[in-house]
Chain A
Amino acid sequence: MEEKKITIDVFEDGQIHATTDGFVGTECVTELDRLMKDIARNVTRKKKNEYFQEKISNDTKVKVKND
């Protein structure tokens, strides 16, 4: 199980800072967009190294052959 963590700081002047951990690739942007939709405007993003990594998925498929 992968832990995905988002830390959000909401300041008194209305600014919202969010950092993500455990996300790979563009997943973090999609997740933050869902979370902040209509709540945060004028968004600026600073991409971490993980953003440029590709998500590796292990899909185990079993083929059953009936001879």
Chain B
Amino acid sequence: MSCEDDDDYGWDDYVYEPIITVQNIKVSINTISKNDVKTIEEALTLCLDMKLDKLNVILKNMNVYNVGDCLIVNDRYRISPNLIDIVNGFGMKIKPIKIEGMRGNTYIIGDIVTGLLKISGVSYDYTKNLSILQQAVNIDNKQLFSDLSNRYLSDLELVSFIREIKREGFVSIDGKETFVDNESQGVESDRYRVEEKLQKFLSDIRRETCQIKKHVQNGTIELLADRAKKMGYTVQKKQVDKQIQLVLVRND
């Protein structure tokens, strides 16, 4: 039999057709671990603890209520006219509000930390640092801060990722693995986008916790300046390298 005879067997008509199979798989992402989430929660809680510990020097003389993630502070006897500067010094949000039945000055105070903690499903317990009155406060919800870390909380995907990490230890997303003749051609998934999102969240949180030292430093300065003014000193503030200097002068 010659080679030409092969035609009779139809070899020239043979077309190689690879067997392609696509398999749905789960892709695990470990950009942030369960331990990272725990560390984030602890660091954020500590941040707010430090601020409130100092701020309590002034808040303990006022009536403090807890509504949602915010504090309602009633300075009934107007003992601290500089409260806004002091709270801002601590990097917290404050705005004056009107509440029926409350005399003097009333403010709402909030901190981005409570919103960030909410992402992983944690509610900050104000009672451990402050003496909170249990009386119900009749407040219009529109007066509350709604933008505390809203940019994260409104990202439902991120919230679900963080809570999944807290529960399972990793994020699991859908992926497709393609096989050609039983040989894997790789996995197609959103992995890089999700990793990038988690990485950005992690670095934002780290930046936030790094700022805390600066906030506590500024808040302490405002507290001291406020007290010094009440003691009759003129106050001058200046930045010297990394420390902030207060020069208090009084002529007796």
Which residues from B are CB-within-8-Å of A7?
245-248
Contact A12 B249 (CB under 8 A): no
Contact B243 A35 (CB under 8 A): no
Contact B243 A9 (CB under 8 A): yes
Question: What is the minimal beta-carbon distance from A4 to any residue of chain B, in angstroms?
Answer: 5
Question: What is the minimal beta-carbon distance from B79 to any residue of chain A, in angstroms?
Answer: 15
Contact B220 A4 (CB under 8 A): no
Which residues from B are CB-within-8-Å of A4?
249-252
Question: What is the minimal beta-carbon distance from A6 to any residue of chain B, in angstroms?
Answer: 4
Which residues from A are CB-within-8-Å of B224?
8, 10, 16, 35-36, 39
Task: Report the interface size class on chain A.
Answer: 20 to 34
Contact partner of A5 (CB less than 8 A), chosen from B240, B243, B248, is: B248
Contact B249 A5 (CB under 8 A): yes
A54 interface hit (Cβ, 8 Å): no
Contact B251 A8 (CB under 8 A): no
B228 interface hit (Cβ, 8 Å): yes
Contact B57 A39 (CB under 8 A): yes
When C-beta atoms are compared, the residue in chain A nearest to B57 turns out to be A38
Contact A14 B216 (CB under 8 A): yes
A59 interface hit (Cβ, 8 Å): no
A13 interface hit (Cβ, 8 Å): yes
Contact partner of A9 (CB less than 8 A), chosen from B227, B240, B248, B251, is: B240
Interface on B for A, CB 8 Å cutoff?
A: 54, 56-57, 213-214, 216-217, 220-221, 223-224, 227-228, 231, 233, 240, 242-252
